[in-house]
Each structure stands twice: as structure tokens, then as C-alpha cells.
Chains A and B, each alone.
Chain A
């Protein structure tokens, strides 16, 4: 199904934003999404038993199969098929610039819903999912886990996030990249309003450590289209810098600068195997899920 058709099928993000809890939002998105994918090629995930493995220190004691221990007097842990899935890190930008929204939902709310939906989907697929929220530093971090109660913890953490101040994407990227001990997947949800050079370098850090990266470049439609008509005094959400602009004159220059930025992200990130997805807050959140599944498919 082409994305344009999906966009018509899926929920309007503004409608999703008005749903009650984050868990409800995530479930609504994912369930609807999955029900729409019954004929899709994304199948085969299960929680079927895969094998036993001898216990090694550090393994979760709850995974020890005590019946096998009774029979063999050895400690074995059960390995399920889904546990072969990924450790996934959701990185959500909570900087002040994410607070902008022109169509009933802000970039932050959009990213929050997207992260929740991805977490829900990952949890449902038994992928270990963790959360890292940041502005110019990491403000909240939940290590990846596939435990049943982890999703709730993730959603609660998402729900309680406070919006931050200025953006510094590269610094949290490097921090997280340095702390990763095993390969996995990192999903970055940000407006990437930072020095692209430093952002790309941070993302490459993950790539360097063997981690797959999906970048959701979330922008508001106003940022993409610059639809202003009257002379407007633009005040930067993070720096409070004021710029007086006549849109008729400034639009072309703005769109050109934005296009160059997006092209650079696409080009340089694509060159190093990082999936880059420019996503508008007007687009259905399910497109993000689709991108994740596609990436996961490739990763496995």
C-alpha cells in the first residue's frame, strides 16, 4: 500500500493527540496499524519457544526453567523466538523547538505519540525497548527491556516528560552511543534543529558501533511550507531571537535553506546507512511504524 493511501487510511495525528492516555493513543495507533497490515509481508513474529540455553551469571533469574533444573539439576534459561529481536532505543527530542504546532498537535506531542506507538509495537513484538529523552542533554532514560510491565513504565516516563530548553542533539547521541553495550537499533525523533554537521557525526557514532539508526525528522507543516503571508516578527522558540520577515520575500530563501538541510541529512545519513525519514506532524503516525518495521526487516 503506498504511503499516500496509508495516509488516508490511518488516523489523523490531531485526532490521536486528543485521545485520553498515551497508552490508549499507542494502542489505537498500533492496533489499527496492524489490522491494516493483515495482508502485508510483515509477519512471522511470534513468542514461540526457541531453545534452552545454559544459565550464565547475569541472566534474569525469572527466565530460569525450574522444571528443567528439577530434571537435570542444571540451570537453563528459556529462550523464545522473539527474544532474538532487537534492543531498541527510542530517542525523543524534548527541546523547546519541539513545542511548535500549527495543526492541533505540536512536534513534541507528535514525537511523544510516535515514540509511544513504536514502544507499543516493539513491546508487542517482544523487542526490548528503551527510552532516552533529551534537549541539550539527556533528561530521562529508561533502559531497553522486553518485560511485560516495561511498556507501561515507558509510557509513564513519556507522559511525565517535561519540555526542555535548547537543542543539542549531538551530545546526547554521543552519550547514548558510548553507553551501548550491544548492537541494536536507535530511533531518533527530533526536529534536528541543530548544527547538521554535529548531528550527523553523532548519528555516525551509532553506526560506528554497529547500531542501526532510524531518524524521524519531525517538522511542522508550517516549517515545511512556510505559509505565512503578512510581515511577521518571528521569535525563536529556543533563543528568543527575533527576526522580522516579509514571507513573500523570505519564503524562497527559507524553503531553499530547509531543502538544503533536508538534502544534506538524506545524503549524508543515507551514505552511511542511516534511515532518514522526514515526517510532517500532519502525516499519520503509522507511517513512522511502517518505516520502523521496514528497517527492522532489513536488520534481521
Chain B
């Protein structure tokens, strides 16, 4: 039985009042020392024992009446689900992330999970949740221990990364506001707290940790990338002893250019210190994808391979649309900036085209580019505008430099942004009349990420002439010192467009002469290409239709679009041997008031309203009072 207003039960203390009175005044009747008691023996007297019995009966009836009154005020109701629900729910959250796949680890995890099931209190319900980067409720709360054990037996480690938040959220969902405990059967990897933030659980939920233990010595391939003319693989030794790692590169697929070539294999061996990482370069070759494997039979098998899509070119393509298509003439600084490799070795292959040329392009041709830099709309016919608009809708990114070559109306149509209004500067304005500086309006925007705390260095750029941007649906991520928008971020369809209110060819500003120009361009294109042409996914975030397992898969951006390759790799965080202590884990969990409290309260109120047990309790109280009156009258 539960109570809607259990605080009223405090009133049960009033039941002690008659008890105290009884104890204080146990013989309320006068006591007379009398010489002729022997003559009273024949009278119908009440002997002490009988009187005491009556007193106790009266006391019991009065106490019962008071208790029933307080119980009635507390609004009792029967919580269907019985004692099992009241006994609590134990959610056993079993870590099935990649790190659990090391030899012997998951067997130990299973044993700990079964132990947690067996240790659940009598009458408690048990639920089994498996989790990696997501959580899956294998067994809803049940009293059937065998079912829970079989679910644990059926669980197996996968390729996902650890997410304690997912496990705790699922556990909280399963508990549904009921009291209980979540038993986390895990290896306590520090990386399990994504974004360094914890999780929130109900204050009534107990978190218990069943620690599987530290990660065993392990070699892991944590990254693979194309850097210049090399494919670079990063291998980490997670053990406490230096190890020698043997890596093999396998190239597969058809090289661009039409030449047929079989898989090429390269090998490399490197010594790695304890808890250190090392980069292993392999010569790049023209192939569709590469597979790098490190030999490690002791550790986690899933992180021994890394897949990399080469996609026929070692460097991504960027299309720069100019007035003439001659990059040396129209986009010299842009071209030079983009072909420079970034710190991670990535550089772009920059190709140019003008508006008339685009009229003859197919959508597939444009889709082959990682990003588009639009410096001029001159000659951009309807077909070209539609190509760009579709490109953007499909997730492509366009960087627009609203210089002299940009027509606002054409640009709005090409980007599919009806509310975008770009007005060129007035021609009669003196060039040095008002020098503008650029200031980031939101330094957290990804485009400013490479600058970190020195984003203000962008303010060194002098903007002598700027276009006026008005875009209701776009975010101004940077403004000029005059307050006008300098850089707006728009999201037409599934793609992105960054519009700079000036040119990139040193005509209206001196931006290309500043050190911030190259990183700005690279970061802008990286940001713009983020939603498109992504060729590497982790198992946890594979696009729809792609199996969440490591390897190389094919996917299409949209119906009718050509297939492209993507590499699916395991999250390298799973190979990170750093662990949390139980205390650190507990500290990362925030106990909050039950979010479902109000809803649960409503349920309880409705249940109580339907049953109205308090009426029966009050009737019982009246009955007790009547009986008390009868007994009292009899013994008065």
C-alpha cells in the first residue's frame, strides 16, 4: 500500500497521546484503602486483571481510531504491481563496447552481471541493459532471474564506443521513477564520459559499479590519413611495456586513370614506448581505399585495423567559380592558400570554372567536389544556379566572397536563400573613408576554431570596401567594427553556405596578405564540407543503410546519386587505457530530482482517486470509535 500524502502519517504520532495518558494515568479511578474489602468479594466487582484487559482494549481501540484517521488523511491506495515494485528495480547495465572484447574480459563482465542479478533483493525486479555508444534494453523489469541471466549470456561485445550517459539514461528510463539501482558492469574507461560531461539520474537511484578491470596490453590503430603523398597510420601502445608493432598496408580497388592494378601491400615495423603513439607512413598510391592492420593477438581485435577511403585521389577537390575560370587571374590567393597542406597534412586540389562552363556540367560532376568557392556569379545561367542549389540542398558547402563579381539576386537563387540580400558597395564612396575591421561575433563558431583565443587577430585585416549583407535566416558569425555583418552562416537545405561581405582577391581588403587567411580558408572549407563528402565514420555514427561495423562500405547521398565509398572505423577512444576510479565515476553523475516526478505524482493521484481507500479507512475509524464507546460505557 502506498500513500498520496505520506506526510500526514506523521500525525500517527498522535496515537501516542492516549498511550502516554494511559501510562501517566494508568489508574484514573481513586484508590481507597479500605478495611472491609472482604465484604466486597461477594459483590460483582471488577478485579484488576479484568480491568486491565478492558483498559488495553480501550487503549487499542483509541489508538486504532487515531491511526486510522491519520491513514485516511494520508490518502492510501494500492499500488498495483505488488511488492515487487515496492522492493525496487535493479538495472544491470552491461558494457558491450569494443574495449570489452579483449580476451577474457567479457566473460568476467558476464559473471559480474549475473552476480548483480543474483544479488537483487527478494521481490525486486531485474532489468538488463546493454550499452556501448547507445543503450539497448535487453530485458524489461522482471522478476524472472533466469530470463535476465539468459539475456546476459546472449550479450556480446561490439565495435561501439562507451557512453555511460546512454547507459544511465536508459537505466533511468527503465526505472521510470521507481526506486532502484543501476549496476554498471564496465571497465570504467575515462573516455566513456563523452564531452567530459556526466549524466543525471534521479536522486533516489543508487549507482553501483561492478569493475571489470583495467585494459590489458593492447596495440591499436587510432588513425589513418592521407598526408601529402603518404598514408599515415597512427598506432598506440596501451601497454606498460615498450612493444614492437608490425603494420601492413593493403590497397584495394580501382585507381583513377583507368589503369588496372591489384592490391598492393606494404609493411612497416616500429618500436613504440609504453603508453605512447607513433605515426607510421606508407607511400600513397592511387586506389579506392586502404586498409592498415597491426598485428596484436593479445589485445582488442577490433582496433587492429583501420580503413581509409582514398576515393581515387589523395587530396579532396575544391571548385572555385570565378568570372573567367582562370584561377591564376581571378583567384590567385585562394588557389595558393588551398593547395597548401594543413597541419594534419591535408591539402586540396583546386579546380576553376566560370558560369558558362557550369551550364554544361552534370550534377554528378559538381558533387565530386568537396566544396565550392563562389567568387563570381557572372555568366551563371539557370542550369548552373540549379546545379549549385541542388549541391547545397544535398549537403554541399559553398563559400561565397561577396566581391565585385557577385550579383545578389543570382546568389540568392543559387543558394536557395530567398531572404538573402547582398548589396554591392556604393561606387562613389571613398575607398579609405571608413576602414572596417572584422570581429568574430561568436568565437565558438567552428570557422574560428583554428584561431582559438587569438581570433582577434582577424581584426588586423583592413576591409576597405564591403557588401551589405541582409539575411534573416542566417547567423552573423562575424561583424565589422561598423556593426555590419561580415560573415554569415546560412543553412539552406542540408548544406551550408558562408558568405563573406568582401572579396578574397585583395581588391577590397588586404585579407590574403595576413597569416590568418590560409587557416581561415582551410577551416571554412572543412566546416562547409562537414556535412558532405565525409568519407570516414565511426561505428557509432554510420549513415543510414550502412552496417555499424568496421570496414569499407558504399553509400549514396540521395536517390539516383552515384554510390561512394566510406570507411567505417572503431572509435579510437576505446583504445584509451585511462580509467576512472569508482569515486570519479560517481562524482560525474548528478543526482537530480525525478524529472518524472510530476507525471508519476499524477498517476498516483489518479490511482488514489479511483480507489478512494480513505473512505473505507474512515468507516473503520468510525467503527472503532463506536466499539470504543461501547466498551467505555461498559467499563465506566
Contact = CB atoms under 8 A, between A and B. Distances in A.
Interface of A: 96-100, 107, 191, 193, 219-220, 222-223, 228, 230-239, 241-246, 249-254, 257-258, 261
Nearest to B29: A231
B40 interface: yes
Contacts of B40: 234, 243, 245, 250, 253-254, 257
A100 B40 CA distance: 16
Name the residue in B34, B35, B48 with the highest tally of chain A Cβ atoms < 10 Å from its Cβ: B35
B44 A235 contact: no
B51 interface: yes
Contact of B43 (A98, A220, A250): A250
A100 B39 contact: no
Contacts of B636: 231
Given A228-B32, A231-B636, A237-B33, A245 B43 contact: yes
A249 B42 CA distance: 12
Name the residue in A223, A228, A246 with the highest tally of chain B Cβ atoms < 10 Å from its Cβ: A246
A234 B44 CA distance: 13
The 3 closest A-B pairs by CB, nearest first: A253-B43, A97-B35, A250-B43
Given A242-B48, A244-B29, A244-B51, A234 B34 contact: yes
A253 B37 CA distance: 12
Interface in B30-75: 30-48, 50-51
A257 B42 contact: yes
23 contacts: A97-B36, A100-B35, A228-B32, A230-B29, A231-B29, A231-B636, A232-B29, A232-B30, A233-B27, A233-B30, A233-B32, A233-B48, A235-B33, A236-B33, A239-B37, A243-B47, A244-B50, A245-B43, A245-B46, A250-B43, A252-B43, A254-B40, A257-B43
B32 A235 contact: yes
Contact of B35 (A223, A232, A245, A257): A223
Contacts of B37: 234-237, 239, 241, 243
A235 B36 contact: no
Contact of A245 (B27, B33, B38, B45): B45
Given A97-B36, A258-B39, 4 more contacts: A234-B40, A237-B37, A249-B43, A254-B36
Contacts of B38: 193, 236
A97 B33 CA distance: 9
A238 B42 contact: no
Given A239-B37, A261-B39, A232 B44 contact: no
A250 B29 contact: no
B46 A244 contact: yes
Interface residues of B, number: 24
A243 B29 contact: no
A228 B32 CA distance: 10
Interface of B: 27, 29-48, 50-51, 636
Nearest to A239: B37
Contacts of B48: 233, 242-244
Nearest to A251: B43
Contact of A246 (B33, B39, B46, B47): B46
B54 to A, nearest CB: 10
Nearest to B28: A231
Contacts of B34: 100, 222-223, 234-237
Contacts of B27: 233
A250 B48 CA distance: 15
A33 to B, nearest CB: 28
Name the residue in B34, B38, B45 with the highest tally of chain A Cβ atoms < 10 Å from its Cβ: B34
Contacts of A98: 35
A243 B45 contact: yes
Given A233-B27, A244-B29, A244-B51, A238 B35 contact: yes
A236 B39 contact: no
Contacts of A244: 29, 45-48, 50-51
Contacts of B43: 245, 249-254, 257
A223 B37 CA distance: 10
A246 B54 CA distance: 14
Contacts of B41: 243
Nearest to B635: A231
Nearest to A253: B43
Given A244-B45, A244-B46, A245-B43, A107 B51 contact: no
Contacts of A254: 36, 39-40, 43
A140 B34 CA distance: 25
B35 A107 contact: yes
A251 B42 CA distance: 11
Nearest to A95: B35
A237 B39 CA distance: 13
A235 B35 contact: no
A253 B42 contact: yes
Name the residue in A223, A228, A231, A258 with the highest tally of chain B Cβ atoms < 10 Å from its Cβ: A231
Nearest to B40: A243
Contacts of A223: 34-36
Contacts of A220: 35
Contacts of B51: 244
Contacts of A232: 29-32
B26 to A, nearest CB: 11
Contacts of A238: 35
A247 B41 CA distance: 13
A241 B31 CA distance: 12
B35 A193 contact: yes
A74 to B, nearest CB: 58
Contacts of B45: 243-246, 250
Given A191-B35, A223-B35, A237-B35, A249 B44 contact: yes
Contacts of A231: 29, 46, 636
Contacts of A243: 37, 40-41, 45, 47-48
A107 B34 CA distance: 12
A253 B43 CA distance: 5
A177 B181 CA distance: 93
B406 to A, nearest CB: 110
A249 to B, nearest CB: 6
B47 A193 contact: no
Nearest to A233: B31
Contacts of B42: 253, 257
Contacts of B35: 96-100, 107, 191, 193, 220, 223, 236-238
A193 B36 contact: yes
A244 B29 CA distance: 9
Nearest to B45: A245
Nearest to B52: A244
Contacts of A193: 35-36, 38
A234 B29 contact: no
Contacts of B31: 232-233, 235
A193 B35 CA distance: 8
A238 B38 CA distance: 10
A290 B43 CA distance: 36
A262 B235 CA distance: 121
Contacts of A249: 43-44
